[in-house]
Amino acid sequence: TKAHFVNEVRHGSFYVGTPETVAKKIAHALRSVGAQRFDFKYANGPMAHSKLMKSIELYATQVVPMVKEILAVEKVS
């Protein structure tokens, strides 16, 4: 259902949204389990190749640097 999907985005294992939203959720997941690495599946279901490539680009250029920054700030604090 749509309600289930929205709940998974907010509280579950779906990482959907702006690069900042996704970065915060990944950083929280890494902290919660004490992980050093995060593996990510870029698409679920049919997605145009151009959109998939844009998603990968945003992950590499914006999300990953933000996650590193969030975790680095927390180590200093």
Question: What is the C-alpha separation between 33 and 57, in angstroms, rounded?
Answer: 26
Q: At what angle do helices 64-76 and 19-33 cross, to 10 degrees?
A: 50
Query: Where along the chain do its domains lie?
Result: 2-76
pLDDT in tens, the chain (77 residues): 888 878 887 877 888 899 999 999 999 999 999 988 888 877 667 889 898 899 999 999 999 999 999 999 977 76
Counted residue by residue, the chain has a size of 77
Question: What is the C-alpha separation between 58 and 18, in angstroms, rounded?
Answer: 9
Distances (CA, A) of 21 to 15, 18, 62: 8, 5, 11
pTM score, whole prediction? 0.81
